[in-house]
Each structure stands twice: as structure tokens, then as C-alpha cells.
Amino acid sequence: MSDENNEFIRVDGRKKKELRPISIEVGVLDSADGSALVRMGKNIILAAVHGPRELHPKHLALPDRANLRCTYRMSTFSVPERKSPAPSRREKEISKVLTEALESVVLTHLFPRAAIDVYIQVIQADGGTRCASATAAALALADAGIPMRDLLAGVAAGIVDGEVVLDLCDVEDKEGTGDMPIVYSPMTDEISLLQLDGEFTIEQFEEALEMAIEGARKIYEMEKEALINRYKIDLEEEQDIGAEAEVGDTSEIEEISETFEGEELETELEEIEPDIEIIEDTELEEVTEHDEETEDDIEEIEVEIIGEEELEEAEEEQSVEEEVVFEEEQEIPTIEEQEPIEKEEIIEPSETIEEEIIEEEVIEPHETVSEEVPDVPIEESSDEMEPIPLTPGEEPEEEEDDNEEASDDVDPDTLEIAELEDKEEL
Amino acid sequence: MTIFVKEKELIVPGQILAEGNNYKVGNGVRKDGPYYRSVVFGIFTGSGNTISARALRGKYLPRVGDVVIGMVIDVGLTMWRLDIGSPYEGILFANNATTRKFDPVKHDARQIYDVGDVVRAKIIAFDRTKDPSLTTLERGLGKLTGGKIISVTPTKISRVIGHKGSMINIIKKYTKTNILIGQNGRIWIEGKSMEDEMKAIEAIKLVEKEALRQGLTDRIEQFLKSYDEVKNRNE
């Protein structure tokens, strides 16, 4: 194929392998537990995450994991012709495929019976919204502090005028003869969504897949920067703390993310954050191996695909396969299994300190239950319920913290000394 | 056998933190072949030979032994349901709320705790299959009246308390307030004047906002000292 033929210029002036300008902002909403705003060309996608939270209605609860519900909605004003506000077949389909893509990376088994809700609102659409939505949703989930195996980066590749091109815009999507959106996890090297519309030869498919994965990697680097910048900015507001230069200069990064062009971006990012290099090196080996696998899989699918329905089926098959893999991996000890150790440690010290402090400063108690309930038979028991008077024995929690930070010897007698130590530590 | 990230560095899900087989897998980390990968967006903490990642935000997940502050949202015949700010409701049974025999025919659960009451309780049992079970029988637990309640991100509670309580003690000392902290991120504050309470809240919010900063205890002390001086002068 004519890979080096960069003379092919697209409708919007891009080269074959060029992404549209992307800007990512994380934590844009206060009302949600996590949120992200992604602009990819003219696309504007807002994703909000609520949860893990209680699941209503209760009958939807899953006994072994959280119910992840993803809702993709297009605003009525997101397209040139007003879109009917009723959820369309297309929106339902995208909600479904995105739910499945996200489920593959979120560690839902840590929150049995709970719900994780992801709301994706398309503010403006310009082709490839499902890819940008996946990117935004993954970032919003990460922002909400929900444990995930990896981030997701979505991008489409397709065929326009017989050429395989990356990141189709709306015109290319409609006029072109093929469209293949993928959602990819760069660190684990997994594809969590792959749809295909149109006709591809096997060579074209392989080229498109490779191109899309490469594009997704670039998007991933931007996601990473966006996440880190969120807290970097918090710290830079006041200047007295030396910005620990390791993450690099924010201003520079912003510029890049707005005006990046394929290769330039890559190299510059590498300069800024050497860490990336290390990781990618290790990645590359994996990648080559994996690619072969995926390609095999894909060939099978490819033969059958031409109608959209068949595509969906094929895709489901694929996602099933993936799920199996995940289950195996999830057996790796994670957060939950670690916890019991802490619990044991917590209980002991809290009692000791609590007693001591109560002796020291018993300030008048607050209204107790017994005061409030004079005429109920419980009155007699008010002595036993005495514990309720709230002495300012608020300290109990402190030891719990100690357990987290300096898990071993919590000696209540050394509280004052501890303060000094603390200063040193900080 | 290498660690790729620095202590307190910001890390994203999926990022490789270390390679090898001799580290312990801590919170927020999973082992993937030879790699230790983060599963959360947070900061890296590699104390000793344990590799762990602490999320910057997140919902409270109940742990046995935690003291939490919850609000009664439902009263049953012999039990209460408490919103404890986590995906799971806290359940407080009558036998964990009063030592006396509680007979639902003779006694009214609403006389002990009613809907809307704010209760400080301890988690005595929790597992994947059941909602967390609470008790208010221990010293210092029970209904909270007066004062103000604010909530901060549960992941930042340890910072609000500080190393061995240093941070919270400073806030209490300068604002002369009583402060009770729930591990679920809710904080109850009662001072002698509204002004004191508001100052304490302001200080806590500042801690939450700048939780990643080094030397925060000193900063907060400075912040409160100036308040104290102004107040003394006025008196």
C-alpha cells in the first residue's frame, strides 16, 4: 500500500493518518462524582459519572458486581437538523456497546449490588461521536476514583476515495465507503469495541486497524496529561511550593494538545515526560504479539461482515471472548483482599486513645437520647445508654489514620511528640 | 525489580508502577504478569516493599471498625436505615442502639432515632452480600445535636486528621471547637460561636483542597493563627 503517499489530502485538509485537534478537560462538573469534556474536531462530548451508588430499582442489582449503566444521548441542537429528543434506535445501540466497552475495564466486582451510572451527552456532533464518548466516559470514571484496569481511547478509521484514513469527520463518514470505530486500551493492549460498516478488503482492514490503534495511543497520552493536569493546576495556583517538575510544563502540554500533528506530538510528549518512553518500550513487545492474535480473530469476522446486524453479532462474540479473559485476570489480588489486614489493626488503638482522652477533657455532653425520650420505657436504661453523651472524644478516628500512614505502633502517650514528628515528616 | 514511579507521583489507571515479583500488592494495585499496575487515578505510595495507589476521589466503602456519621433515612419496627454516604445503606438494629430489651409492640423506634437524625455510629459488620451493620452502643456514639455538618471527599479524611491527629488538633485548638470526624467524609463541628465554626470549616475545606501539598499542617496553623490574633485583638 502507498503508506508514504502523504499527498492524499482530505476534505478538511488533513493527511491520511492525522487526527483532528483534541482537547480534554477533566472534572468539569461539581454535581457529578466524576466528569470529563472531550472536544475532538467539532465534536463536543460531556460525560458524567455517578457512583458507585445505591441501585434503584433494586431488582436490577447484580449479586456479584456493580451494574454499570451507560446512557448516550444526543442533544437536539447537536446536529444541523434538529434531532428529535426521543431516544433513537441509534442512541440505544451506542449506549449498549459503550456499556459493554466500559464494563471490560471497570472493576465492577468491587462494588457488588451497587450501580455505576455513566451519562454521555453529545453537545455537538461531527462524526465519530461514539469514539469520543468512550474516551470521555473512561476519563470521567477515572476522575470519579472508580478502579479500572486501564483507560480507553476511541478513534475511527475508514475508507474515503479508496484510501484508508484515520479519524473520520462527518462528511467523510457519510461519503466514504467504510467506517470502523474502535475503542482501545493501550496499556493492556485490548480492543473493547470494534464495529465496522461498509466494505473492506483484508488488507484495508489490517491497515485501518493498525492506524486506529496508533491513533488511540496518541489520544491516550493526551488523556493522561489531562488527568494529571487537573491536579497539577490545583497545586500551581499558589506558588510557594516548587512545582515538582517531573510531570512537565503544563503550558507546553496545553499548546500541544490543541495544535498537535501526528508525529510532532509524539516526540514532544516524550521529551516532556520520560516515563512514557519506558512504558512504551515494554509495551511494544506485547503489542506485536497481540496484534497477530487480533488479526486472526478479525479475519474470521471480516469474511462475514457486510450487513450491520451481522457486524453486531460478530462483535458480541468478540466481547464475550474478552470477558472470559478478564475474569481470569481479575483473580489477581486487588484492593479488597488487602483490606482485612488494616481492619485488624484499626480496632485496637482506637480503644486505648479514646479512653484516655475522655478522662482528660469531659466537656458537657450533648443532648442524649435519654433526654429526648423521657416518657418511653427506655428511660430506665438511660444509664446503660449513657455512652451516647457525646464527649468530645472525637479522637477515635485519628488512630485509623495512623494505621493508614504509619501502620504500626500507635502509642497514645506520644501524641504530643507525634506532632513534632509530623512537622518533620512534612 | 524496578519501581518506575516516584513517591507521591500522580498515576493513572493501567499505568505500570513496578516490575518484578517481590513486592506486596497493596491497595489500588493489581498484578498483571510481571507488572504491578495501578487501577485508580491517584497517587503512588510505595512504603517498604508494598506497592499501593491511593485514589484522589471516590465514594466511601465501609470497613469494619470505622466510625461514621450517618443520617437516618428510614425507621422500621426494630431497625433504622442510615445514609452513610456509601453505595450501601447502614443498618442499625435496635439491639445495637439500646442495651435494654426492645419490644416493638411496647416501644417506638422513632423515640430513639427519628428520620433526619444525625447519628454517629460504628460499623460492626460488612461483607459483599450484606449492607453494613452499625452500632451506637459504644462511648461517644449516638445522636449528634447542634453544631454543623460538612462533608469532604472520604479519601481526604486521613489528611484532615493528619499524622496522629496533628491537623485536626491544630484546628480544634485555634478555633476552640469540638470536631467529630466520620471515616465516611462527614465532619461534625460545634463551636462557641458561629464565627469559630465557620473558621474551622474554612480550614477543613482548605485542607481538602490542598491535600496534595507538602507541609500543609504548618500552612493551616499559620492560617488559623492569624485568625486567632485578630480575634484576640478585638476582645
Write down which residue in B114, B144, B174 finishes a domain: B144
Fold category of A22-237+248-330 in CATH: Ribosomal Protein S5; domain 2 (3.30.230)
Does residue A53 carry a pLDDT above 50?
yes
The per-residue pLDDT for range A108-122, each reduced to its tens digit, is 999 999 999 999 999
* Same domain, residue pair B51 and B119: no
Min Cα separation B232/chain A (Å)? 23
> Could you tell me if residue B188 is inside a domain?
yes
Between helix A202-236 and helix A129-143 the angle, nearest 10°, is 40
> Could you tell me if residue B184 is inside a domain?
yes
Does residue A195 carry a pLDDT above 90?
yes
Residue B155 sits in a domain whose CATH number is 3.30.1370.10
Q: How confident is residue A399, by pLDDT bands cut at 50, 70 and 90?
A: very low
Residue B11 sits in a domain whose CATH number is 2.40.50.100
Cβ <8 Å between B120 and A390: yes
Spatial CB neighbours of B14, under 8 Å, sequence gap ≥ 6? A148, A149, A150, A151, A185, A186, A187, A188, B37, B38, B39
* Same domain, residue pair B107 and B157: no
State percent of chain A over pLDDT 70. 53
Does residue B178 carry a pLDDT above 70?
yes
The per-residue pLDDT for range A280-295, each reduced to its tens digit, is 444 444 444 444 444 4
Mean pLDDT, rounded, for A395-414 = 41
* Same domain, residue pair B116 and B179: no
Domain that holds residue B14: 2-55
Considering only CA atoms, give the Rg of chain A. Answer: 27
Does residue A70 carry a pLDDT above 90?
yes
Average pLDDT, chain B: 92
The per-residue pLDDT for range A114-173, each reduced to its tens digit, is 999 999 999 999 999 999 999 999 999 999 999 999 999 999 999 999 999 999 999 999
Chain A residues near residue B106 by CB distance under 8 angstroms: 377
> Could you tell me if residue B92 is inside a domain?
yes
CB interface of B with A, residues 27-46, below 8 Å: 27-32, 35, 37, 39-42
Least confident of A41-45, A318-322, B45-49, B55-59: A318-322
Mean pLDDT, rounded, for A93-99 = 97
CA distance A29 to A48: 8
Q: How confident is residue A375, by pLDDT bands cut at 50, 70 and 90?
A: very low
CA B75-B78-B84 angle, to 5 degrees, is 50
The per-residue pLDDT for range B199-214, each reduced to its tens digit, is 999 999 999 988 888 8
Spatial CB neighbours of B231, under 8 Å, sequence gap ≥ 6? B195
Q: Are A236 and A243 in contact (CB under 8 A)?
A: yes
Does residue A412 carry a pLDDT above 70?
no
State residue A236's pLDDT score: 58
State residue B14's pLDDT score: 94
* b/e A9-23 (16+ beta carbons within 10 angstroms → b): ebeeebebbbbbebe
Distance spanning both ends of chain A, measured CA to CA: 59
Min Cα separation A304/chain B (Å)? 34
Mean pLDDT, rounded, for A338-366 = 40
Cβ <8 Å between B14 and A144: no
Which residue, chain included where needed, has cell 423506634?
Answer: B109
Cell of B190: 460545634
CA distance A162 to A185: 28
Cβ <8 Å between B40 and A147: yes
State residue A159's pLDDT score: 95
* DSSP letter assigned to residue A106: B
Does residue A203 carry a pLDDT above 90?
yes
The per-residue pLDDT for range B73-95, each reduced to its tens digit, is 999 999 999 999 999 999 999 99
Question: With an 8 Å Cβ cutoff, is B85 touching chain A?
Answer: no
Chain A residues near residue B164 by CB distance under 8 angstroms: 398, 401-402, 406, 410, 414-415, 418-419, 421-422
The total domain count for chain B is: 3
ipTM: 0.93
Residue in A with minimal Cα distance to B65: A347
State residue A234's pLDDT score: 61
Residue B127 sits in a domain whose CATH number is 2.40.50.140
Does residue A257 carry a pLDDT above 50?
no
State residue B2's pLDDT score: 87
Cβ <8 Å between A391 and B88: no
Write down which residue in B116, B144, B172 finishes a domain: B144
Min Cα separation A82/chain B (Å)? 38
Does residue A177 carry a pLDDT above 80?
yes
State residue B119's pLDDT score: 96
* DSSP letter assigned to residue A21: P
> Could you tell me if residue B126 is inside a domain?
yes
Cβ <8 Å between A401 and B165: yes
Min Cα separation A204/chain B (Å)? 30
Question: With an 8 Å Cβ cutoff, is B142 touching chain A?
Answer: yes
* Same domain, residue pair B122 and B156: no
* DSSP letter assigned to residue A263: H
Which of residues A323 and A208 earns the better pLDDT score?
A208
Does residue A266 carry a pLDDT above 90?
no
Spatial CB neighbours of A364, under 8 Å, sequence gap ≥ 6? none
Does residue A263 carry a pLDDT above 80?
no
Considering only CA atoms, give the Rg of chain B. Answer: 21
Region(s) of chain A under CATH 3.30.230.70: 22-237+248-330
Chain B residues near residue A325 by CB distance under 8 angstroms: none
* Same domain, residue pair B182 and B218: yes
* Same domain, residue pair B220 and B207: yes
Write down which residue in B89, B111, B144 finishes a domain: B144
Q: How confident is residue B231, by pLDDT bands cut at 50, 70 and 90?
A: confident
State residue A274's pLDDT score: 44
Mean pLDDT, rounded, for B23-45 = 93
Does residue A314 carry a pLDDT above 80?
no
Residue in B with minimal Cα distance to A27: B57
Q: How confident is residue A363, by pLDDT bands cut at 50, 70 and 90?
A: very low
Which residue, chain included where needed, has cell 507546553?
Answer: A252
CA distance A149 to A102: 10
CA B189-B191-B197 angle, to 5 degrees, is 65
> Could you tell me if residue B60 is inside a domain?
no
A13: left (phi over 0), alpha (psi -120 to 50) or beta: left
Does residue A298 carry a pLDDT above 50?
no
Which of residues A176 and A362 earns the better pLDDT score?
A176
Mean pLDDT, rounded, for B14-25 = 92
CA distance B60 to B50: 23
pTM of the predicted protein model: 0.71
The per-residue pLDDT for range B120-171, each reduced to its tens digit, is 999 999 998 899 999 999 999 999 999 999 999 999 999 999 989 999 999 9
Chain A residues near residue B129 by CB distance under 8 angstroms: 63, 112
Of B9, B158, B214, which has the smallest distance from its Cβ to A426's Cβ? B214
